[in-house]
Amino acid sequence: MTNTERVISRLQVAAIILMAAGFGWAGGNFTPSDAPFWNPLLHTIPIVLILIFGLPMLRMRGTHQYIESHAGWANVGMSVFAVIAIAFVIVAVVLGATNPNPNAFGVKTVEDWFPAVIIIVGSLLWLRTLIPASLRNAEARAASSS
């Protein structure tokens, strides 16, 4: 594993941790104490998706060939999840800014901003790690074809 691959791997692990922490915090922060049972259950869906997509990649960090051949679905899934997470936070911010009801859905207070920022940072960090990986793969394909 090259130094670039190690850095990308560490940044991806950090992104997975940040997204999980942000969604966990958001679930606790945005679930009212008198909410019906389905509300907290609904807030666990992002964490379950992060576990489904993230754990295979964390397990495969030791061997580079295994990552390339078997973790493609997890990489794509986490990338799609990151884009959806960014869109979700943007919608939450817009709804929070446009609805004056303090009990309505949306990012309204400082306490609401913390998980929103953590989710955005984790998602952007994940998407940022894809740029060197795609450049490295393009260079490898070009070198093998010549």
pLDDT attached to residue 143? 64
pLDDT tens-digit series, residues 3-45: 777 788 888 889 999 999 999 888 888 777 788 888 888 888 9
> How much is the pLDDT for 103?
80
Which residues are CB-contacts of 102 (< 8 A; sequence separation ≥ 6)?
108
Q: Could you list the mean pLDDT of each consecutive 10-residue stretch along the chain, which spans 146 residues?
A: 76 91 86 82 90 79 52 87 96 93 87 94 93 65 64
The pLDDT of residue 63 is 53
CB 29 within 8 A of CB 111: yes
Q: Delimit the domains of the chain by residue range.
A: 3-140
